Amino acid sequence: MSAKNADGEKPPLRILLCAPRGFCAGVVRAIDAVERALEKYGAPVYVRHEIVHNKYVVESLRRKGAVFVEDLDEVPNCDRPVIFSAHGVPKTVPQEAERRNLFAIDATCPLVTKVHREAMVHAKRGREILLIGHAGHPETIGTMGQLPAGAVTLIETAEDARKIKPRDPSQLAYVTQTTLSVDDTAETVSILRERFPSIVGPHKEDICYATTNRQDAVKRAAPQVDAMIVVGAPNSSNSLRLREVAQRSGCRTSALVQRAADIDWSTFANIESLGLTAGASAPEVLVDEIIDAFALNYRVSVENVSGPAEDIFFPLPRQLRDDAGE
């Protein structure tokens, strides 16, 4: 694309950079866990599932010696570390690792582990559990897998919430995936609360601070721009939600892109303003790459649309801390 005008000058483009954006504390911890394991134990380090949903991150860890597998079957019997991804795993996975005497390191985000614990407490108290989430997402599989098959029912849509027929409505609880749309989840929860007034759930929902803050920033920027770009992977739940939020907040053009090379310039020609954000697993270097790509075609000025500062930090998994015994 060349957006130059008749005088050969690039047209101006105001980029509104959403903040916070990009890496959350759970993603930082998971990536640090793989890097620290590589430093401490050398390569290879096995990682079950993409440590976070971002190709750039996965490829850079692969170059350093991480070997990504989808199942423990692909890990040979050895003393190499096997790291579980930030999304969490069903209970059968650590059980299988223990049975095979593998050196397992759990990089599940503590905010996902918190949801696992909530589900287990509900089950202990004899409650039927509804999980508001997306079928097939690793986090959903991990949360459902904390309890025996059939103990957790997945609620994907408001329609599911309207139709669900619990065994005993007085013994009902819900938990949620951490990366959902705040607005959709509020609707689903309100349907459940209206139908089952005694349903037990978290004080807020289980949607994490990072998901909420990134969606709020997009809500602020979207009405002010002609188009919005979300940097993130198509299998990243929180990135997909950011694009939906942009659309619903009045942004007529939006795209989820992994790299600058993915930008469809016919869509982003002749705009005067652009919102830019990144999902929780997308590194800042990719945001810079997008700005640089627009700067080739436009005279870019960048403004921040800032929300709350984030200072959440999760310590590394126990085995990887400096004070950990061998």
Residues that bind ligand SF4 (CB under 6 A): 24-27, 86, 109, 111-112, 178-179, 208, 210-211, 238, 280
CB of 116 to ligand SF4, least distance (A): 12
Q: Are the beta carbons of 33 and 320 closer than 8 angstroms? A: yes
Which residue's beta carbon is nearest to the bound ligand SF4?
26
Distance CA 42, CA 45 (A): 7
Closest contact distance (angstroms) between CB of 163 and ligand SF4 is 28
Report in angstroms the alpha-carbon separations of 242 from 74, 227, 232, 325.
34, 13, 9, 41
Least Cβ distance, residue 280 to ligand SF4 (angstroms): 4
Q: In this complex, which beta carbon is closest to ligand SF4, that of residue 109 or of residue 225? A: 109
Task: Give the integer Cα–Cα distance in Å for 125 and 123.
Answer: 5
Phi, psi angles (nearest 5°) of residue 318:
-45, -45
Query: Of 6 and 135, which has the nearer Cβ to ligand SF4?
Result: 135
Tokens of 20: 């916070």
Nearer to ligand SF4, 23 or 294 (CB): 23
Question: Which residue type sits at 143?
Answer: T
Report the residue number, 66 or 274, with the smaller CB distance to ligand SF4: 66
The verdict on whether omega for the bond into residue 81 sits within 30 degrees of 0, i.e. cis, is no
d(CA 58, CA 34) in angstroms, rounded, equals 10
Tell me which residues are annotated as active site: 139
CB of 79 to ligand SF4, least distance (A): 28
